[in-house]
């Protein structure tokens, strides 16, 4: 996997606010692998969940894999954050 730089992350975040599924997925990858950011499974799950809602099949696989490594409270927090994000950026 290529290293994700700060400029790429900023672009992914802008594109994610516009609902671009690929940007949501790339943010999930960044947070799940620590590319350009600190590894954060809750954030990664949130981004993969949002990408999955927009039809990215690979995001479902990653989200499910992460869920196996997370506590139920972490999954619940990730889902809450995804719902919150959807309410803001729908």
| Any domain includes 60 | yes
**Domain membership flag for residue 68:** yes
Is residue 21 in some structural domain?
Answer: yes
For residue 18, pLDDT beyond 60: yes
Q: Which of 74, 36, 85, 90 is nearest to 26 (CA)?
A: 36
Parent domain of 65: 6-89
Say if 83 falls within a structural domain. Answer: yes
Q: 50-77 pLDDT, tens per residue?
A: 999 999 999 999 999 999 999 999 999 9
Q: Which of 55, 26, 25, 29 is nearest to 40 (CA)?
A: 29
**Total count of domains within the chain:** 1
- CA atoms lying within 13 Å on the CB side of residue 18: 9
pLDDT number for residue 81: 97
Q: What is the pLDDT of residue 16?
A: 95
Residue 85 in domain: yes
Query: What pTM was estimated for this model as a whole?
Result: 0.92
Average pLDDT of the residues in 38-49: 97
Classify residue 64: in a domain, yes or no: yes
DSSP 5: P
Question: Does residue 67 fall inside a structural domain?
Answer: yes
26 three-class SS: helix
Packing angle of the helix pair 21-33, 57-67 (nearest 10 deg) = 30
Q: Is residue 1 part of a domain?
A: no
């Amino acid at each position: 996997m290529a290293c994700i730089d700060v400029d790429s992350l900023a672009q992914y975040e802008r594109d994610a606010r516009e609902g671009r599924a690929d940007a949501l997925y790339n943010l999930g990858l960044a947070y799940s692998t620590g590319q350009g950011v600190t590894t954060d499974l809750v954030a990664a799950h949130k981004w993969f969940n949002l990408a999955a809602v927009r039809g990215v099949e690979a995001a479902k696989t990653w989200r499910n894999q992460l869920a196996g490594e997370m506590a139920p409270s972490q999954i619940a927090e990730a889902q809450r954050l995804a719902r919150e994000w959807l309410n803001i950026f729908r």
